[in-house]
Amino acid sequence: MNIEQNLKDLKEELGDDVTLVAVSKTKSVDEIMEAYNAGQRIFGENKIQEMTDKHKELPEDIEWHMIGHVQTNKVKYMASYVDLIHGVDRMKLLKEINKRAKRENRVIKCLLQLKIAKEESKFGMDVENMNNLLTSEEYANMENVKIVGLMGMATFTESKKQINEEFGFLKKIYDTFAKTHPDLKILSMGMSGDYKIALENGSNMVRIGSKIFGERNY
Ligand SMILES: *Cc1c(COP(=O)(O)O)cnc(C)c1O
């Protein structure tokens, strides 16, 4: 795997308007440094412990994105440094992030995860819950979190038609909410296998791992 070349090719394909999150889960500090030395500064991890260990060892100017499902009791381990939490899917979690961010004197940016996949295993909120959260007084009173967009994961399937429909649905919901919530600027959708379909549907942030670092063994 030539990490530098992979990044260069991807950057060219994505252009300037799409943010690339390099998903480095299970990858070593050395591999991340290879991407860092090629200019990449945004990295995504799905486990808080692993991200925190890497954060300690790696350069300060890396922006760390938590892209996995977040357990409420683990927010405290990343509150001092995490840049963006992609998978916020419940009020209880948002409250905990707000509380921990306050102790750190920070505002932590969050994305709300919409459930778009048909699979049971994928997390996320439905549209009604999302609307309730966004318009709640409780959220309006939180000073240390800021919801800056939406995130979604499509079904793991060979059917491009289905993926296209799921991303199209997320884009539609994003556009609808963005009209009344001008803070919403980020639409995080697309991974190595489906980012082209995500881009066609208006994604402006892709989370890509194996296409940069190679297949994961575990
Ligand atoms: C692992 C992961 C990715 C990246 O997957 P690749 O197929 O390696 O690009 C993107 N998003 C989330 C939420 C992930 O867990």
The CATH number assigned to the domain holding 100 equals 3.20.20.10
Which of 26, 46, 215 has most ligand 1 atoms within 8 Å of its beta carbon, as the pocket-test mutant?
46
* pTM more than 0.85: yes
Task: Specify whether the CB–CB gap between 86 and 151 falls below 8 A.
Answer: yes
Query: Could you tell me where the beta strands, DSSP code E, fall in the chain?
Result: 19-23, 42-45, 63-66, 84-88, 108-113, 145-151, 186-188, 205-208
142 assigned to some structural domain: yes
Closest CA to 21 of 184, 187, 174, 177: 187
Residue 1 reports pLDDT greater than 80: no
Check pocket membership of 26 for ligand 1, CB cut-off 6 A.
no
Domain membership of residue 107 as a residue range: 3-213
Amino acid at site 170: L
Distance 113 CA to ligand 1 centre (A): 14
Q: What pLDDT digit, counting tens, does each position of 22-70 carry?
A: 999 999 999 999 999 999 999 999 999 999 999 999 999 999 999 999 9
Locate the ligand 1 atom nearest the alpha carbon of residue 192 and give its number.
9
107 assigned to some structural domain: yes
Check pocket membership of 198 for ligand 1, CB cut-off 6 A.
no
73 assigned to some structural domain: yes
Domain count, the chain: 1
- Using 50, 70 and 90 to split pLDDT, how confident is the model at 209? very high
Locate the ligand 1 atom nearest the alpha carbon of residue 151 and give its number.
13
Which of 31, 67, 189, 216 has most ligand 1 atoms within 8 Å of its beta carbon, as the pocket-test mutant?
67
218 assigned to some structural domain: no
Check pocket membership of 125 for ligand 1, CB cut-off 6 A.
no
Check pocket membership of 87 for ligand 1, CB cut-off 6 A.
no
Q: What pLDDT digit, counting tens, does each position of 84-121 carry?
A: 999 999 999 999 999 999 999 999 999 999 999 988 77
CA nearest ligand 1 atom 11, residue: 207
Check pocket membership of 80 for ligand 1, CB cut-off 6 A.
no
152 assigned to some structural domain: yes
Check pocket membership of 69 for ligand 1, CB cut-off 6 A.
no
Helix (H/G/I), strand (E/B), else coil: 22: strand
From the CB of residue 106, how many other CB atoms can be counted at a distance below 10 Å? Answer: 15
Residues composing the chain = 218
69 assigned to some structural domain: yes
Q: What pLDDT digit, counting tens, does each position of 120-141 carry?
A: 777 899 999 999 999 999 999 9
Distance 17 CA to ligand 1 centre (A): 20
Distance 92 CA to ligand 1 centre (A): 25
